[in-house]
Structure 1
């Protein structure tokens, strides 16, 4: 019911990574912020990205889709109008984009650090946006002209080339503990740069205005109060009394103790709010569930936050280095992930991980996938993963904040050690007597999943191909009807409107706010620049006649209309069509539906 031409284009852009039909991807863990519409997610073993990078520590988060508005069970990007954007010009004068903010702050505050360089090839992942580490310099992507990546004013960066390179800073190079990294950067004093610092201040103000809206949810209020009383030991929260690390740890442990990670949580019932249902009834889900609730809770604790989808790569996945000490990693669909990110003033945006089992880990990877260097000795070990019970998290040691003592100003932190670690499939941890279940994936199931994925993809191709043909047929018939039916005035205006559409196909257009007569003058000038001199008078005639039809009470005669229509056919078939070939002609036929 929500299908549109944009969905159609997006489906084509994702054809090799599992079809993104009606905005819901059939494989992987990300779907453009749409929540609770599918019963679960599955993987077909496809390669989403290939990355070449120097060695890094901890988990490498590759940010893709970014959204800050939660509404109607989905996340969409923040919309920015011209009056609200008071920072882009300052950043541009400083030769950076707003997305370069965290890179620039680190570079200015830690001048002795050397950035790393990552090369990315986008294969099965969505082709709509760039995937990049945090603290990346997006504005220097190694491409030029139409292949250079393009930022939105806010949120994600649009992908223009499926191969690109970026400079970024590995946070582990900074000596402070990773958990305290954003706050550590914020305390440093940067070198003075008037435009950039003015832009940083303006952007921080913008972020606090746009990323602090909280969903109206009774269950969200209950979760907030439980974290206050049980994990921070207070009844009233004062932001200045706590560090971001303490707040994020409390939220993380609330999820670990009370919720279950699973790849098949079921759909959100019709009429139910996604957050309410997850927190109050469902109490299980995968990454996008925890990222959504976590982002909202961060806002309740006074931190601007937003929702992110992308991919995560463990440092253990690096395998053996190449000759030049770089590592090439095939990032599979199992590495698809969603997380929250937090904005720390004077530091920028940083990942906030709340999904149980993802602390420098990925519960969807087998042990062999987590560490390619590890050699599996027996088939029985590979084919029979053990079902385990875990307390408070998956794998390793999980930090749990205990109830704050009455005579203490800060909650104490203890360590709760897991009795076992589940390294295969979608492990689920215990918190109130719940038992974890690991998914048993055999080679036959993998083959079956791949066959089903191929079948779904082929079916989707056929369905979308049919949709393209029908859509084009409808649009072409509509154009012919507007040109053939109605009074002379409306038909004349239609001729002018469609002429502009055709000319735009070959770059003859002007987006400035000018009158129609001025526009026609500009179009004729562009025709002359392109050495299309014989037809410029036709464009001017159609424009002047359309102004006469739209702005005056003058009668448009049959002869005038016929002349305009004949000129229109010449523009369409003699000027535009010969200059269209290959992809441009397909675009004109099946996207713009003009031929």
Structure 2
């Protein structure tokens, strides 16, 4: 290298060439080190992935291909520059071959994903159906060989030739994440080597080659030349990478030995919390983001509840054995009590929705509010008509703080003037505070209602159910006027003030005339039935539903419109589901390419209340029986018997989270909407369920199970017959039960918290906190500004307004530099007068502010009003002329608008 010498006045020559001396010559191990790191990464990724699952492939073929491909690209990478053209050509060959084999590669992916799915969810169900097993080995071999080829191209080049962790991480981490995300344990040794490889590659790409370290810096002078001190050492990035790999392996080994020697064991409390957080992370789904964040926050200890009615998103469910509701009954009652807070009408894309608002524009629905008679009143009114011996009682419901946003109500409520109605769906106490509410109600027994209706229908065959009444005979004047008005509007008056009523239930005329609300309810019920049959018989028109309909065709064709055949059909549906499907808290998630009902009834055949209830509703609709989906809580007779009795005869029950429930509602002519239980193992007296554990092994500390999913919890039932078809072993429900989302609860697999998922969640949490801070800051500044503009002395108001105007003008690049307010006002008027505000307005604002600050004159209300108009004009015009980005900045960063 040519050296240029510069002579200064001191006679010292400075050379632009650098001469360094070293103590002795060392061998250059950079290539061997980088090659070793690449080989470690290449082999550990392959062994780690293949060690997580049991794939069907030719081991010899795949490993021979890995050895040949690895050796080829290792050689090319070591040769480096002289073989780059060969490297590039091989990449082209790879792309061409992959394109030609795309179909076989895709088929191989389906085969391996089926195995991943089975291992992750401990199921024998295949995600991709109809694959030919004869093609499995060859297609999986093809997929593995092409992945190994891609892995070799990237790992060897970006480790040896151009150290960079981005692409190697992109092709290695997702492969391991497939297992880790689903809780599959990575082989420990190979997993540690994978981590060591990533860290080594990261270090190699960030440590500067040629950085000096070790000892004191400095130079020694020899004549007019300066030499670095001999004890200075040169960092070699590849050597650092090897040290990192060695360090990671050593730390892992020492830690493992220490834990084994000390017999270290975490406390049960830490284990439970770790398990909850781990499984909340493993159950995280972007398809169900809000609920996933809710579950995660609850696992951390923050009470944030989110509830939707999407089905099949939970791997399994749990109870925490906490009290969700405290219920007090005026006196004990027989039969199960259902406390409802949601009713779903439309089943679509594995989720329940309400009816569209257009459906409620029906005149019949509007009559409910007009005449203060609602479908929710029908069961209470008509069941009393069916069985006069039924007694009313009062129930008080007090939810926990977490459930205080929900309002729960029993069936058979009596309107005593304080009820609030949500369309034809739910009813609530209009006086409720923080969820606390009370109702008068008649506890319904579905079996008894059907038995009595069957008897009545037989009697009706021998009598005319149509009766004629006179409005003038109705004793309560207010009710008489309402009925007269309704009959006039609907054209029901036959002559004078007589009107016909088609009563399906025989009743004492004197009782009906003294209870005009029953007559009006019956008149409106006859109209509401049309609405029910129009909206609550809809079934998705899909191939999956057609398959279900064909499978249950022998049952759904039983219904002929009679009450007895309706009851028989519902019981037959329940019995078929109980015999063919198993109640289980481990149904695993429904594959995204499956229909929830079809998958439960025809493939997986395992589920809990949401599975039975949803399927029962769809099958009832297929038969022609109006039905819908409901959620809330259930109390069975054993719960009531186990409550705390008071001296006044009342009984108080702590309703645990294990009584959260989903069930079906059936619309019964002449009665209304009543609960019907399809879930196996539930009766009005007790809950007898024994979750299947043959495919769901657990550890000793995880031996018990329960549920935490609001709309998809366990089940409850009104059917007494169902109890005889199920096991009598009652599931123990404790706080140590298996947590929801247990992707790692299967045999032979541990639980691993995906690091990438942690980072995503932390990023989301950070974004939420930042957004909350920005919004709260904006709200605080706007509130404070408004307070300063409207309260206090007039002088201070004007000064604040002028200061705000200065900030607005700064956004327009107008700023007073010399402190001369009058000259600044002239500049502003010249630049923006007549554009951003009326000419002379800013001059007037300046004069008012100066007088307020430096004289004894107090600004008048008119002065303040004009000043306010000026700053608002500037603010509005500034915002209007700004770009979209600047508008966001003005609103949320500068908070000037």
Which TM-score band (shorter chain)?
A: 0.5 to 0.7
Shift of 1:473: 5.3
Counterpart residue number, 1:180? 451
Residue aligned with 2:524, SS = helix
CA offset digits 1:222-267 (Å, max 9, x no partner): 54445453x68xx675334853211111001101110011001100
Aligned residues of 1:395 and 1:422 also touching (Cα < 8 A):
no
- Superposition pairs of residues 168-567 of structure 1, within 5 angstroms: 168-171=441-444, 177-180=448-451, 187-189=505-507, 193=517, 195-218=520-543, 220-229=545-554, 238-240=560-562, 242-318=564-640, 319=642, 320-360=644-684, 361-363=686-688, 399=721, 421-425=728-732, 445-446=736-737, 468-472=768-772, 557-559=835-837, 566-567=871-872
User: What is the deviation of 1:221?
Assistant: 4.0
Q: Which residue of 2 aligns with 1:102?
A: 379
Distance 1:98 1:79 in 2: 18
Q: State the Cα distance separating 1:362 from its structure 2 match.
A: 1.9
Q: 2:421 aligns with which of 120, 126, 151?
A: 151
Offset at 1:115? 1.2
Whether the 8 Å CA contact 2:631–2:661 is kept in 1: the answer is yes
Q: Structure 2 CA distance, aligned partners of 1:242 and 1:468? A: 56
Secondary structure of 1:62's match? strand
Q: Is the 8 A contact 1:49 1:332 kept in 2?
A: yes
What is the rounded CA distance, in whole Å, between the counterparts of 1:44 and 1:17 in structure 2? 13
Shift of residue 269, structure 1, vs aligned partner: 1.0
Q: Kindly provide the CA deviation profile for residues 191-244 of structure 1, in whole angstroms up to 9, marking residues without a partner as x.
A: 655654443233222221111111235454454445453x68xx6753348532
Aligned-residue offset at 1:120: 0.2
C-alpha separation in 2, matches of 1:94 and 1:201? 15
SS of 1:341's equivalent in the other structure is strand
* Equivalent of 1:44 in 313, 320, 342: 320
* Counterparts of 1:556 and 1:210, CA distance in 2: 61
Aligned-pair distance for 1:302?
A: 0.9
How far the C-alpha of 1:187 sits from its partner, in A, is: 3.0
Using a 3 Å threshold, how does the CA distance of structure 1 residues 256 and 394 change in structure 2: closer, same or farther? farther
**Contact 2:559–2:565 (CA under 8 A) maintained in structure 1:** no
Q: Secondary structure at the match of 2:396?
A: strand
Which residue in the other structure is 1:122 paired with? 399
| Alpha-carbon separation, structure 2, partners of 1:188 and 1:569 | 76
SS in 2 for 1:177: helix
From 67, 70, 78, the counterpart of 2:344: 67
State the alpha-carbon separation in 1 of the partners of residues 636 and 564 from structure 2. Answer: 30
Supply the distance in 1 between the matched residues of 2:407 and 2:636 (Cα, whole angstroms).
Answer: 19
How many residue pairs end up in the alignment?
424
Runs of at least 5 residues in structure 1 that lack an aligned partner in the other structure: 24-30, 142-148, 367-382, 386-392, 401-415, 426-440, 450-455, 481-497, 504-554, 571-589
**Equivalent residue for 1:33?**
309
For residues 312-336 of structure 1, what are the alpha-carbon distances to aligned partners after superposition, in whole Å with 9 as ceiling and x for unaligned?
1111112252111111000001111
User: Alignment partner of 2:673: what SS?
Assistant: strand
- Structure having greater relative contact order (Cα 8 Å, sep ≥ 6): 1
Tell me if the contact between 1:334 and 1:364 (Cα under 8 Å) persists in the aligned partners. Answer: no
1:136 to 2:413 alignment: yes
Distance 1:275 1:475 in 2: 43
Match of 1:372 in 2: none
- The alpha-carbon distance between structure 1 residues 244 and 127, as it changes in their structure 2 partners (threshold 3 A), is farther
- 1:265 and 1:34 mapped to 2: Cα distance? 15
Name the larger-Rg structure: 2
Per the alignment, do residues 477 and 237 of structure 1 end up closer, same or farther by CA in structure 2, a change over 3 Å counting? same
Inter-CA distance 245–463: structure 2 relative to 1 (3 Å threshold): farther
**Per-residue CA distance 1:442-483 (angstroms, 9 max, x = gap):** 77x35999xxxxxx9xx9999997565333456689999xxx
Aligned pair 1:161/2:434, yes or no? yes
Whole-Å separation in 2 of the counterparts to 1:36 and 1:277: 10
For the 8 Å contact 1:62–1:132, the answer to whether it is kept is: yes
Structure 1's 38 and 473: CA in aligned 2 closer, same or farther, altered over 3 A? same
1:239 alignment partner, SS class? coil
Write out per-residue CA displacement over residues 6-56 of structure 1, whole angstroms, 9 at most, x where no aligned residue.
9899999999999666x4xxxxxxx53210111011011111111001211
3-state secondary structure, aligned to 1:81: helix
Q: Secondary structure at 1:114's aligned position in 2?
A: coil
Q: 2:681 aligns to what SS in structure 1?
A: coil
Of 149-158 and 270-279, deviating more is 149-158
Q: Distance in 1 between matches of 2:357 and 2:364?
A: 12
Separation (CA, whole Å) in 2 of partners of 1:241 and 1:97 = 23
Rate the CA distance shift 1:67–1:384 in 2: closer, same or farther, 3 A: closer
Indicate if the aligned counterparts of 2:414 and 2:441 stay in contact, CA closer than 8 A.
yes
Secondary structure of the equivalent of 2:357? coil
How far apart, in 1, do the equivalents of 2:734 and 2:333 lie? 32
Q: TM-score, normalised by structure 1?
A: 0.58
Alpha-carbon distance in structure 2 between the residues aligned to 1:197 and 1:103: 12
RMSD of aligned alpha carbons: 5.2
* CA separation of 1:271 and 1:279: change in aligned 2, threshold 3 A: same
Alpha-carbon distance in 2 for matches of 1:419, 1:83: 41
How far apart, CA to CA, are the structure 1 residues paired with 2:716 and 2:776? 57
3-state SS of 1:105 partner = helix
8 A contact 2:397–2:437 mirrored in 1: yes
Q: Cα distance, 1:365 vs. partner?
A: 9.6
